[in-house]
Structure 1
């Protein structure tokens, strides 16, 4: 190697990390290695100050960053606790970015609707094969809960989301449930039924009831077809401004 040889990136200036960032990295490692497990109480601020040799501001800023990422819960007057990591927490971290992406690139709304069709077809296929009598009762109750929200646009949409998320949950796959929940939450901000057709609520309820009937009879093919028709019908209700 000659004196002229340079390694890629070695000319970039060395950036000194903030103390709080270094504390965050240490705490992150403690969770990764299992030194801190879900449900554990976090060490006190003083204990962390002594362990890492830093001041209180650096520790507090690091703990707040941990809380912002859903890694710990901070309660006033109590010690912070380590959260159990779930797919829902992971998707919460991309929530604002996803909404910004949709608002700045309206074409992504169509992409999201396409993703919804693919994901929910898979969800209803899995659920139709294995759903229990208790789950059918739950779905029928959700349809009736949605019926009670007729005329209450926002509440009706929330009940609609609850129905679709329940089917996703019944797959037994928490990632499917988390993606469905996030996806429908993002789409709900672009719901514009007034621009299209009246009587939509009763059609939605009827189709939901038919989907439940098909799930109860474990008719996989018909359930997938019905879900596809249902989502195709609702497609125009979601659009960019």
Structure 2
């Protein structure tokens, strides 16, 4: 019986993929730092010994990845990367994922519950008086926004994102912003807040009070109850 040697075949890589890999290496080594102009297409062609199509395809791929900005009439520049900028690049894909299958929304709500409970446990011992004052002000502003759905929901996002900021962890901050953006922006929540605003305000006030008391365990349980209660506010948009 003959042995299958298909896995041993040598696959010729596209030139553009090799150019892309070289450029990413230059960025990682600091030869192309954030804000720096990219070399011209001609310089890259000469440096790597490839044609213009391979260079242009690699540059377009870098642009799509958010690593560079291509401006017509100007030199392309290397972008400053952050956790937020990286996660924001997947917003369109997240919208498609959540819309393609209703169960994905349930998975996102479960992930958010686990994430926010862990996040507030981290934030409790780190919260300063200024942090707590900011949270109280957000609660007050949210109370004033009752009856204006867009503003109320926006302030709800601000409240949870402010807790994330207390952790000082840029990955947690960016993840919090992305999760809330996906939940609020891509689903018909605005229609489901009416009558729940006062409950939300009281729950937010309790979270701030528990953070002030440095009671991490109670804050986690209060956050879990808050998210469990509000789960029904998030529903898939009605398909036309």
Higher helix share: 2
Partner of 2:168: 172
CA–CA distance in structure 1, aligned partners of residues 215 and 18 of structure 2? 55
Asked whether the equivalents of residues 95 and 182 of structure 2 are also in contact (C-alpha less than 8 Å), the reply is yes
Secondary structure of the equivalent of 2:86? helix
CA–CA distance in structure 1, aligned partners of residues 233 and 16 of structure 2? 46
Q: Say if 2:182 is the partner of 1:186.
A: yes
With over 3 angstroms needed to count, the CA separation of the structure-2 counterparts of 1:159 and 1:26, relative to structure 1, is same
CA apart distance, 1:209: 2.3
CA–CA distance in structure 2, aligned partners of residues 138 and 47 of structure 1? 51
What TM-score, normalized by structure 2, do the two folds share? 0.84
Q: Say if 2:29 is the partner of 1:37.
A: no
Secondary structure of the equivalent of 2:167? coil
CA–CA distance in structure 2, aligned partners of residues 76 and 149 of structure 1? 43
41-50 or 113-122: bigger deviation:
41-50
- Among 102, 105, 108, which residue is 1:109 paired with? 105
Partner of 2:154: 158
Deviations 1:144-185 (A, max 9, x none): 343444333233222211211121121122222222221111
CA–CA distance in structure 2, aligned partners of residues 77 and 139 of structure 1? 46
Asked whether the equivalents of residues 149 and 190 of structure 2 are also in contact (C-alpha less than 8 Å), the reply is no
Asked whether the equivalents of residues 150 and 190 of structure 2 are also in contact (C-alpha less than 8 Å), the reply is no
Q: 1:1-241 alignment to 2 at 5 Å?
A: 6-10=4-8, 14=11, 17=14, 19-75=15-71, 77-188=73-184, 189-192=186-189, 194-195=191-192, 198-240=194-236, 241=238
What TM-score, normalized by structure 1, do the two folds share? 0.83
RMSD across aligned C-alpha pairs, in angstroms? 2.6
Gaps of 5+ in 1: none
CA–CA distance in structure 2, aligned partners of residues 61 and 149 of structure 1? 49
Gaps of 5+ in 2: none
